[in-house]
C-alpha cells in the first residue's frame, strides 16, 4: 500500500473525474491540462503549473490535483503560523508533513486573477482523486475528494446561474476565455517549468522528507 500515486497518473485520473462530473452539468465546457502561467517577479519559481482548468458557463475553475492515496489528510493550526499539513498512511501512526495545497492553489489563483478581466468568475479547488483518502478535522471548503465532484459541479452551476454576480458565458465567450488563457501561457512549456523547479530545488538545502520530491509538489 502506497501513500502517493505517480503524479501523472493521478492527474489523468482527476481530469477524467472532472469531465465525468462537469459534462452533464454544462452544455459547453473546455478542460485545459497543465496550464503554465508566469509568476510575479521575486517568486522563487518564475512559473507555476495549474493541473486542470475548467472553463464553462459560470466561469473559470482551477484544480490543484494531488496524488495522495490510502491516507488520512489533516492539518495542525496555530495562531502564530500558517497551518501545517500532514499525511498518515492507513494503519500507521507516523505522519509525513507536506506542502499546504490550499496555499499553492491560492497563490496561483491570485496571480491568474491579476491577468484576467475582473468580470470573470475565478475559483480554485484542491482535488484528491485517488482511492483511500480521508479528510480529518475541519478542512478548507476548497479541498475536495472524488466523491464531492458531482455536488461541486451542480453547486457552481446553480450558484452561477442564481447569484449572477458575474455574467454567464455562452459558447463563444467560453472559447474566447480559453484563448485568453492560452495567450497568458504563451511560449511557456512544461519543460520550462520543470527546469525552473529543478533550478530552485538545487538552490535549497536537502528536504527533511525525501519522499516529498516524488509527490510532485510544485
Q: What is the mean pLDDT of residues 113-121?
A: 95
pLDDT tens per residue, range 196-213: 999 888 876 554 443 333
Q: Are 93 and 64 in contact (CB under 8 A)?
A: no
pLDDT tens per residue, range 139-165: 999 999 999 999 999 999 999 999 888
Map residue 116 onto helix, strand or coil.
Answer: coil
> How many C-beta neighbours within 10 Å does residue 63 have?
27
- The pLDDT assigned to 213 comes to 32
- The pLDDT assigned to 142 comes to 93
Q: What is the DSSP string of 171-199?
A: HHHHHHHHHHHHHHHTT--HHHHHHHHHH
pLDDT tens per residue, range 25-45: 999 999 999 999 999 988 889
In angstroms, rounded to a whole number, what is the distance separating the alpha carbons of residues 109 and 43?
A: 15
- The pLDDT assigned to 206 comes to 53
The model's confidence at residue 54, banded by pLDDT at 50, 70 and 90, is very high
Q: Are 36 and 185 in contact (CB under 8 A)?
A: yes
Q: Are 60 and 177 in contact (CB under 8 A)?
A: yes
Helix or strand holding residue 119 (H, E): none
Cell reading at 133 = 483518502
What SS3 string covers 39-54?
A: CCCCCCCCEEEEEEEE
- The pLDDT assigned to 205 comes to 59
- The pLDDT assigned to 93 comes to 83
Buried b (16+ CB within 10 A) or exposed e, 192-207: ebeebbeeeeeeeeee
Q: Are 181 and 53 in contact (CB under 8 A)?
A: yes
- The pLDDT assigned to 138 comes to 85
Amino acid at each position: 500500500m502506497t501513500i502517493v500515486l505517480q503524479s501523472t497518473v493521478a492527474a489523468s485520473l482527476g481530469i477524467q473525474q472532472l469531465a465525468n462530473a462537469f459534462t452533464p452539468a454544462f452544455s459547453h465546457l473546455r478542460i485545459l491540462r497543465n496550464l503554465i502561467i508566469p509568476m510575479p517577479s521575486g517568486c522563487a519559481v518564475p512559473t507555476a503549473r495549474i493541473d486542470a482548468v475548467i472553463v464553462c458557463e459560470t466561469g473559470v475553475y482551477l484544480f490543484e490535483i494531488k496524488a495522495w492515496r490510502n491516507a488520512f489528510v489533516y492539518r495542525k493550526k496555530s495562531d502564530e503560523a500558517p497551518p501545517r499539513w500532514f499525511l498518515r498512511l492507513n494503519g500507521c501512526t507516523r505522519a509525513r508533513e507536506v506542502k499546504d495545497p490550499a496555499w499553492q492553489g491560492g497563490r496561483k489563483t491570485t496571480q491568474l486573477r491579476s491577468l484576467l478581466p475582473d468580470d470573470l468568475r475565478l475559483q480554485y479547488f484542491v482535488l484528491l482523486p485517488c482511492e483511500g483518502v480521508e479528510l480529518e478535522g475541519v478542512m478548507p471548503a476548497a479541498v475536495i475528494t472524488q466523491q464531492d465532484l458531482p455536488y461541486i459541479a451542480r453547486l457552481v452551476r446553480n450558484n452561477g446561474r442564481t447569484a449572477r454576480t458575474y455574467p454567464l458565458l455562452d459558447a463563444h465567450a467560453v472559447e474566447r476565455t480559453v484563448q485568453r488563457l492560452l495567450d497568458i501561457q504563451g511560449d511557456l512549456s512544461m519543460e520550462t517549468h520543470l527546469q525552473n523547479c529543478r533550478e530552485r530545488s538545487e538552490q535549497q538545502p536537502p528536504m527533511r522528507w525525501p519522499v516529498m520530491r516524488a509527490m510532485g509538489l510544485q
